[in-house]
Structure 1
Amino acid sequence: MRAAVLDAYGEPLDIRDVDAPSADGASAVVAVEACGICRSDWHGWQGDWEWLGLKPEAGQILGHEPAGRVLSVGDDVETISEGDHVAIPFNLGDGSCHQCRNGHGNTCESVMPLGFVEPAQGAFAEEVRVPAADYNLVHLPDGVSSTDMAGLGCRFMTSFHALAHRASVDAGDWVVVHGCGGVGLSAVHIADALGGNVVAVDLQEEKLAKARDLGAFETVNASEVEDVPREVMGITDGGADVSVDALGIAQTCTNSVMSLGTRGQHVQIGLTTQDEQGAVSLPTDLMVMREIEFIGSLGMPPTRYDEIFEMVATGKLDPSGVISETVSLDDVSDKLAAMTDFETVGIPVIDRF
């Protein structure tokens, strides 16, 4: 099968033929119909996240936002059948540990991040193997396309979990999203659907325009103001109720915390770069005085996807609205390179392999 393989950090991925995976035991193989190209893939391509033990090694197939059709299943698979239309969460759980059994499979005790570790080769490929298929594979509703649902593997579901499960977004709450990449734009759309008044912050007007299309009530161009938190304070009349760092650099994290009012909630979705290496200084005294909460949020348990699908069915959510373009597998390196300077808007999706 054709796959995009990491040979050297920052260099074009090698599009080459590799052995196709096989299904055995509790695993399944999915024929990939679409796969998003995510900024997390960019981090892996850059060789980031060694401090998390997630630095991909040479020979790794990247890609962690796939949707497609089940091609084959192992003898121990019970609820998944050949031909099923499925999405694959990037946070693959074993389905049997304490966290998985209690509804927190996104923080599985033996989680395998798809596309970042050797046992979980990714989906920039024609086929992908999924362990614990009964637990990890998510049946898609009838009538949806794999391309429209590709973001459910990471960015869209990550934002949904962050805002619907980890934070407390109530109708009329001010929600600020710092960074309008794919996950940030997803957060804008989801916060709006949950009833929040959304303020979107970014450096690029094109991304802010997209945020307005997806429901942002107000936008802030960080390149045009001296003090982002002060600007947000003015818009929200004293500070946001929920603020999201959807990028993961020191500036957006600090701005997010500083944008909050008393008893506000900061939600950290973005993971850091080589500059921060997993650590960011915080205004802790201010957080104490305002009783600000700092909430980490990772992926989403596969057992809760039905909540997204119910909102899609009623028209409150539209994951396809964040999809910006479709490309071929041969274009993946160019799209990763464009992310270095934040040139992509929304979610580019591979639909031709």
Structure 2
Amino acid sequence: MRALVYHGPGRKSWEEVADPRVQQDTDAVVQVDAVTICGTDLHILKGDVPAVTDGRILGHEAVGTVVEVGAGVKNVRVGDRVLVSCITACGRCRFCRGGHYGQCVGGGGWILGHRIDGTQAEYVRVPFADNSTYPVPAGVSDDQVLMLADILPTGYEVGALNGAVRPADTVAVVGVGPIGLAAILGAKLFTPSQVVAIDLAAGRLEAAKQFGADVVVNSSREDPVAELMRLTDGLGADVAIEAVGIPETFELCTRLIRPGGRVANIGVHGKPATLHLEELWSKNITITTGLVDTYSTPTLLGLVAAHQIDSARLVTHHFALGEFMQAYEVFARAGETGALKVVLNR
């Protein structure tokens, strides 16, 4: 088969590799019918995730058709159309039993495209298939369900839920690329009084309006802290969601937040950020971090199937499965291309 293979920082290629096969009784092999590229893949290519080694097939999100299952697989059958989750769950360890699948110590967690070969390929091996795939509801498109592999659960769990968004809150979302937009969708489920989107790119701020942001702030021209204080009578945001992954945006969130507020960090950070405890120690602020656990995937699938969330709106570009090099180019230059999520179809 062919796959997108990482060869060190800045180097990747679409090349011929060996087909995956069932290695454990709990594995399934899935034919990839639709796959996307994540901002985390760009972090990998920048060298921010050193655990990813030369020769690794990238990708951790897919929709596909099961073509082979191990003898121990009970709930997944050959021919099933499934969502392949970005998180693999053994289902038995202490963390999985508590719903913290992203922290799995039984051989799962974020492993696809990280510690084992991933989904940006014609086929993928999925360990613990019973716990790590989800049947696709009838009438739900590949585009809709693919956004539930990572981006929507991440924005919802690590952003809205970790940030404990409540009715009438002011929520600031710093960085409104795909994850930030997913965080806006998740936050809006809790009826905040206002969602304020902050970004440097006018195109992304325009997208944020379409996804429910009440106010947009272009931080290349405006002072976001001053604007938040103006909007909140000098108090600041109840919740600030960091969705970029650089020191400047994390530190901005800690300046946007009011006493007693919550900072929810989603971004994947490759460099240290300064925590200004000399300013924050007395403000009763809660800071959360997190890798998505995907415990919310069934809930989100239900909302998508019921047309309560239009997840397909996140998809802006389509490519054929063999056009990964072009797709990465478009996704990496999102400021110029307007790309939110790119989808590659078989």
User: Normalising TM by the smaller chain, what interval?
Assistant: over 0.9
Residues 236 and 282 (structure 1), Cα distance of their counterparts in 2 relative to 1, 3 Å cut:
same
Q: Say if 2:230 is the partner of 1:234.
A: yes
Q: Say if 2:190 is the partner of 1:194.
A: yes
C-alpha contact 1:324 1:346 (8 A) present in aligned 2: yes
1:244 deviation in Å?
A: 0.6
Aligned mates of 2:160, 2:67 — CA distance in 1: 33
1:333 deviation in Å?
A: 2.9
Offset from partner CA, 1:312-332 (integer Å, 9 cap, x none): 244331211111111133433
Structure 2 counterpart of 1:135, one-letter code: N
Structure 1 residue ranges, 4+ long, deviating more than 6 angstroms after superposition = none
C-alpha contact 2:163 2:240 (8 A) present in aligned 1: no
Q: Say if 2:84 is the partner of 1:92.
A: no
1:94 deviation in Å?
A: 1.9
2:203 to 201, 206, 228: 206
Aligned length: 340
1:341 deviation in Å?
A: 5.1
Residues 82 and 164 (structure 1), Cα distance of their counterparts in 2 relative to 1, 3 Å cut:
farther
Residues 147 and 114 (structure 1), Cα distance of their counterparts in 2 relative to 1, 3 Å cut:
farther
C-alpha contact 2:331 2:342 (8 A) present in aligned 1: no
Aligned mates of 1:194, 1:34 — CA distance in 2: 31
Aligned mates of 1:239, 1:316 — CA distance in 2: 30
Percent identical among aligned pairs is 30
Aligned mates of 1:322, 1:232 — CA distance in 2: 26
Counterpart of 2:291?
Answer: 298
2:240 to 243, 246, 251: 243
Counterpart of 2:100?
Answer: 104
1:164 deviation in Å?
A: 4.6
C-alpha contact 2:102 2:110 (8 A) present in aligned 1: no
Q: Say if 2:319 is the partner of 1:320.
A: no
* Structure 2 SS opposite 1:289: coil
Counterpart of 1:116?
Answer: 113
1:340 deviation in Å?
A: 4.9
C-alpha contact 1:287 1:293 (8 A) present in aligned 2: no
Matches within 5 A, 1:1-353: 1-11=1-11, 13-23=12-22, 24-50=24-50, 54=51, 56-109=52-105, 110-118=107-115, 120-196=116-192, 197-225=194-222, 227-237=223-233, 238-273=235-270, 276=271, 279-301=272-294, 303-338=295-330, 340=332, 342-343=334-335, 344-352=338-346
Structure 2 counterpart of 1:285, one-letter code: E
C-alpha contact 1:4 1:16 (8 A) present in aligned 2: yes
1:38 deviation in Å?
A: 0.9
CA RMSD of superposed structures (Å) = 1.8
Greater alpha carbon shift after TM alignment, 210-219 vs 328-337:
328-337
Residues 67 and 79 (structure 1), Cα distance of their counterparts in 2 relative to 1, 3 Å cut:
same
C-alpha contact 2:315 2:342 (8 A) present in aligned 1: yes
1:294 deviation in Å?
A: 0.4
* Structure 2 SS opposite 1:106: helix
1:185 deviation in Å?
A: 1.1
Residues 327 and 114 (structure 1), Cα distance of their counterparts in 2 relative to 1, 3 Å cut:
farther
Offset from partner CA, 1:90-124 (integer Å, 9 cap, x none): 22222211010121112112434244334x21111
Structure 2 counterpart of 1:43, one-letter code: H
1:224 deviation in Å?
A: 0.5
State the TM-score, normalized to the length of structure 2.
0.92
1:75 deviation in Å?
A: 0.2
* Structure 1 SS opposite 2:148: helix
State the TM-score, normalized to the length of structure 1.
0.91
C-alpha contact 2:158 2:290 (8 A) present in aligned 1: yes
Greater alpha carbon shift after TM alignment, 336-345 vs 157-166:
336-345
* Structure 1 SS opposite 2:282: helix
C-alpha contact 1:190 1:317 (8 A) present in aligned 2: no
Q: Which runs of 5+ in 2 are unaligned?
A: none
C-alpha contact 2:331 2:341 (8 A) present in aligned 1: no
Q: Which runs of 5+ in 1 are unaligned?
A: none
